[in-house]
Amino acid sequence: MGRGKFKGKPTGQRQFSTPEDILAGTSRRPRTFKREEAEHVEEVSEDEAAGEESGEESGEELEEKSEQRRKGTQGLIEINNPNLVRAKNLKAKDVDFGKTTELSRREREELEKQRAHERYMQLQEQGKTEKARLDLERLALIRQQRAEAAKKREEEKAAKEQKKAEARK
């Protein structure tokens, strides 16, 4: 029974090599693939042999060779991109703990802002800033007014009690 107007993709027409074909060497795989693979293996073995002969290759030279051998098409295409940032892999033995990291401008400004605020708050607590002096003067005035109001209430209360005492007599 049909499945509609369109036919499916012709994936069923693929032909695969049988184990007999592979053993006989009459596989349909392109021969160039085998040649490229054999050349790559020879290059790797030559590089290793050259490395053993020199005997004094440092880690940097090995890293350069690993950069030369690239995956896929990267080895075929030379890229001269000045904006390309290569990742610098640091090994644990190469890490310098004494070196302090540089802060960005924003981080530096944020730290300076926090320190200035802390300094200001300390001066505020000690009463050395102009705002703190004004606050302390205001507080002193309010305390004085409250003390006067309390004294006045006491006097009024005493006068009221005296009037009551005189009215009883």
- Give the pLDDT band (50/70/90) at residue 92: confident
pLDDT tens digits, 69-85: 666 666 677 777 777 77
Cβ(75)–Cβ(69) below 8 Å: yes
Taking the C-alpha atoms of residue 63 and residue 40, their distance in angstroms, rounded to an integer, is 18
pLDDT of residue 74: 67
Q: How far apart are the C-alpha atoms of 162 and 64, rounded to whole Å?
A: 106
Q: What angle do CA 121, 127, 129 make, to 5 degrees?
A: 70
Question: Does the pLDDT of residue 110 top 80, yes or no?
Answer: yes
> What value does the mean pLDDT take over residues 134-159?
95
The pLDDT tens digits of the residues spanning 112-138 come to 999 999 999 999 888 888 988 999 999
